[in-house]
């Protein structure tokens, strides 16, 4: 039997952007996961979605891995970014754009601006 921590680390290492979420990017299963997936989808960020509802081991494993009690959890280039509130704040402040620029992850800058305009 494989170790869930190893599985999680491999997912993070092999994808530039990973969102551990309830549901999938096409069909989120909670509002918080829907919000983060919606931001990433709208901004055109290519990312791997991992449905933590697919197994109890994954659902608890990601919380233990990050020492963060909630899902969704966003990782960019191996770095834990945060959950829904943090990603929302970073999107609105432009910090998410800066992180994506710094790490070389492509995204639609105009879409990011539209999100900020709609929420100002």
Euclidean distance between CA atoms 64 and 50, whole angstroms: 16
User: Which among 2, 6, 1 is positioned nearest to 65, based on CA atoms?
Assistant: 6
With contact defined as beta carbons under 8 Å apart, do 72 and 40 qualify? no
Instruction: Find the radius of gyration of the CA atoms of the chain.
Output: 14
Give DSSP secondary structure letters for 35-82.
HHHHHHHHTT---EEEEGGG-HHHHHHHHHHHT--SS-EEEETTEEEE
Token reading at 64: 């233990």
Annotated binding residues for [2Fe-2S] cluster, written as ranges, equal 30
Annotated binding residues, written as ranges, equal 30
């Amino acid at each position: 039997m494989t170790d869930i921590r190893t599985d999680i680390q491999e997912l993070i290492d092999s994808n530039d952007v990973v969102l551990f979420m309830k549901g999938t990017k096409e069909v989120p299963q909670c509002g918080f996961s829907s919000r983060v997936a919606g931001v990433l989808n709208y901004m055109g960020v290519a990312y791997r979605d991992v449905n933590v509802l697919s197994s109890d081991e994954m659902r608890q494993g990601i919380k233990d891995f990050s020492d963060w009690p909630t899902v969704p959890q966003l990782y960019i280039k191996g770095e834990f970014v945060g959950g829904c509130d943090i990603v929302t704040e970073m999107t609105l402040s432009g910090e998410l754009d800066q992180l994506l620029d710094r790490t070389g992850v492509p995204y639609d800058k105009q879409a990011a601006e539209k999100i900020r305009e709609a929420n100002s």
